[in-house]
Structure 1
Amino acid sequence: MATAADDDGARHPSPLSDRHLRRTQRLGSARHLFPLRRDHRRAPARADREVPLVRPTLVAPTLEEIRRAHEIINREIGLPTPLIHSPGLSEHLNAHVSIKLEAATPTSAFKVRGGIYLASQLDIDARERGLVTASTGNHGQSIAYGAAVAGTSATIFMPTDANPDKITAIERFGGRVELVGERVDECFIAAAEYAHERGALYVEPVNQPTLIAGVATAALEVLETQQPDTELVIVPLGGGTGASGWVLVRDGLGHPAEVWAAQSSQAPAVHDAWRSGKMEPRPNRTLAEGIATGVVFELPLGILRASLNDFILAGDGQILAGLRRLWDLQHIMSEPAGAVGVAAAEQERERLSGKRVVIVVSGANATRAQLAKWLGD
């Protein structure tokens, strides 16, 4: 979904009208294979124009599809990712705590599961056209990696101040980076327009059932095989694909575990919509770029409102404390977005007491300078 931002940096829905979105058509029929290249350029943002967006059918994936996705992803990157019991966190939280280390993937983030599965479902025509999306980094890496595996191209639109390590990673996977504007909302609009003009496929980063099916495979690993007696799972949440996947698998298996989502209180859009039922823009001022969103997306919100057990907000200071706790007690490195589950667990310590808890660490894409700053005294 495209977004717009005001002067204080808060993300809001773009001026694209519901009428315009309803009459959205599939991207052009012209076939085009983007040449892969290592350099990136600053592309002009054209946020003043309405852009046709590809809107997938908003139907949640089934457990059968999630199982099929797991088979495909496993062939490419060797699943499962580790589930690590943490004696230190267990003692600290008075619970049996294990870490689902989703940073242990080729892109150091859980989203690569979705990118691989989505790209695997492309037909020959779609592979010739190539993929286009917008991202602050982790989603872009997942699409670039999946595209490389599938033998197609990926063009990723990112803000001009994007994390340089994430830019390098996308290019390493063969993706092409276009830098547009100061905020990711400009990237969404520019990416959709670029895809439309060239007949490529624009990948919605959140309202995309295929991506949810891919990332949901982590839940299948834990609840069915790695720790079937799990009583509580805490999942970081930005747009909601990861947490949606967990509740879909939990419900599909008929598993009794509770699933909680954790989000920054400085970017609480999905949390507030989950509680109120109203899809309204909210401020987005969190330093946790991997879960930074000021807007709400229909598909994951519907899934979460139907089945999520609780939704915890943690301030950025608490998130950084959680990041340090992960390092001090388990020597696990994380980006802030990946540590928000630890922050939520610390905040709700009494409710965790005596339970078998899984905390998802969703990613570890941070620069050396950032880690030195965050881990320092």
Structure 2
Amino acid sequence: MVGATLENMDIDLGIGAVRAARTVLADHLPATPSWAAPALTEAAGCQVVLKHEEVQPTGAFKVRGGLNLLAGMSPEQRRRGVVSASTGNHGQSLAYASRRFGARCQIVLPEPVNPTKARALRGWGAELVVYGQDMETAGAHARELAGRGGARFVHPADEPALIAGVGTLYLELLTAHPDLDYLFVPVGGGSGAASACLVAASVAPGCRVIAVQTTASRAAHDSWRTGELVSRPNRTAVEGLAIGIGYATTQALLRRHLTDFLLVDDEQVRVAQLLLLTHAHTLAEGAGAAALAGLLSMADRLAGTRAAIVVSGGNASPAELGSVLGARPVAAA
């Protein structure tokens, strides 16, 4: 669908689906904490609220989507299993949910594989297939595998059940902090950003949602700017943001509700990871810190406001952690 226009795309997904997902997830996951980080607020120059999704059993917010999707499948569908492609966190969400619901789960990983995430995927019982050099190639192979064996192919972004499940975190956040001025969200495939837009538009219309992607993998950003699904070079080292094309479902929701879309570079993401570690006692992988990088990039416009970011992705590899410790510390605002 690269090249498709987004202006009149009909997406039948509303806040009711998110509220229904919250009921489903209540039997599986407790609400995660969200609170202010005073030292981070001082460094950023505005009040910063952190939503701590790194405490999820898989270390990332995506587990919400996987559980919601598997909960809605029939016993026969679960028996046939699910297949998807992932750099790690989306795959873990499906693996965790498949283990909870007794389903077979096969995940295709592009190279190079993060050993930390591969270990976690195996731990949750997923069957791993390493194929291709990027998510697009891995995704095509996953779709082929699903077709061969009758399993359900799960798209990492164009899946309403995933978006609704992820939306529950923003329902928690915006219910606990209804007076937020800004919500910064990272974008790879865009399921998290799309769900943030969907929930904010319904329960906190005064909160402006700002998306963040890296300059080295900017397909979602450029799709949103142009109003067409585009492909772009995919060179970021930030695994969770390494997507080279725009996706229809998430882009349509972003077009409706997103306030702005920022680009940061990989080094800014590493600096944000270090700041979370030193100023908020919080470990996040790159995709889980990109929102803070975006916030810092426009800090001069945020004085006197309240902004939130979702900290997610506690699955950084040792090599990534080494690069974070070597990053340049940020100066206080």
TM bucket (normalised to shorter chain) is over 0.9
Q: TM-score, normalised by structure 1?
A: 0.82
Q: Spell out structure 1 runs of 4+ moving beyond 6 A.
A: none
CA contact (8 A) 2:185 2:291 kept: yes
SS at match of 2:139: helix
Report the AA paired with residue 81 of structure 1: T
**Backbone CA RMSD of aligned residues:** 1.8
Q: TM-score, normalised by structure 2?
A: 0.93
SS at match of 1:332: coil
CA shift at 1:58, angstroms? Answer: 7.0
CA shift at 1:254, angstroms? Answer: 5.0
CA shift at 1:171, angstroms? Answer: 1.1
CA contact (8 A) 1:236 1:361 kept: no
SS at match of 2:184: strand
CA contact (8 A) 2:11 2:252 kept: no
* Residue 252 of structure 2 corresponds to residue 302 of structure 1: yes
SS at match of 1:216: helix
Report the AA paired with residue 66 of structure 1: V
The match for 1:194 among 132, 139, 145 is 145
- Corresponding residue number in structure 2 for 1:62: 14
Report the AA paired with residue 154 of structure 2: V
CA shift at 1:137, angstroms? Answer: 0.8
SS at match of 1:113: helix
**Number of residue-to-residue matches in the alignment:** 323
Report the AA paired with residue 11 of structure 2: V
- Tell which structure's C-alpha radius of gyration is larger: 1
CA contact (8 A) 1:271 1:311 kept: yes
Report the Cα distance in structure 2 between the residues aligned to 1:347 and 1:65, rounded to whole angstroms: 33
* Residue 48 of structure 2 corresponds to residue 97 of structure 1: yes
The match for 1:334 among 273, 284, 290 is 284
CA contact (8 A) 1:141 1:173 kept: yes
CA contact (8 A) 2:270 2:286 kept: yes
The match for 2:57 among 106, 113, 116 is 106
- Corresponding residue number in structure 1 for 2:331: none
SS at match of 1:312: strand
Report the Cα distance in structure 1 between the residues aligned to 2:75 and 2:61, rounded to whole angstroms: 27
CA shift at 1:122, angstroms? Answer: 0.2
CA contact (8 A) 2:136 2:243 kept: no
CA contact (8 A) 1:223 1:255 kept: no
- Corresponding residue number in structure 1 for 2:324: 374
SS at match of 2:283: coil
Q: After superposition, what is the alpha-carbon deviation per residue over 1:7-61, rounded to whole angstroms, capped at 9, x for unaligned?
A: xxxxxx6xxx99xxxxxxxxxxxxxxxxxxxxxxxxxxxxxxxxxxxxxx97342
Report the Cα distance in structure 2 between the residues aligned to 1:254 and 1:332, rounded to whole angstroms: 27
SS at match of 2:56: coil
Q: After superposition, what is the alpha-carbon deviation per residue over 1:161-201, rounded to whole angstroms, capped at 9, x for unaligned?
A: 21111111111111111112333333212211111111111
CA contact (8 A) 1:61 1:210 kept: no
Q: Which runs of 5+ in 1 are unaligned?
A: 2-12, 19-56
SS at match of 1:103: helix
Q: 1:58 to 1:166 in 2, by over 3 A?
A: farther
CA shift at 1:96, angstroms? Answer: 1.2
Report the Cα distance in structure 2 between the residues aligned to 1:353 and 1:301, rounded to whole angstroms: 30
CA shift at 1:207, angstroms? Answer: 0.7
CA contact (8 A) 2:47 2:304 kept: yes
Aligned-pair identity in percent equals 37
- Corresponding residue number in structure 2 for 1:247: 197
The match for 2:27 among 68, 71, 75 is 75
Report the AA paired with residue 273 of structure 1: S
SS at match of 1:318: helix
Report the Cα distance in structure 2 between the residues aligned to 1:368 and 1:254, rounded to whole angstroms: 38
CA contact (8 A) 2:197 2:209 kept: yes
Q: After superposition, what is the alpha-carbon deviation per residue over 1:106-148, rounded to whole angstroms, capped at 9, x for unaligned?
A: 1111111000000000012211111111111111111111111
* Residue 235 of structure 2 corresponds to residue 278 of structure 1: no
CA shift at 1:246, angstroms? Answer: 0.8
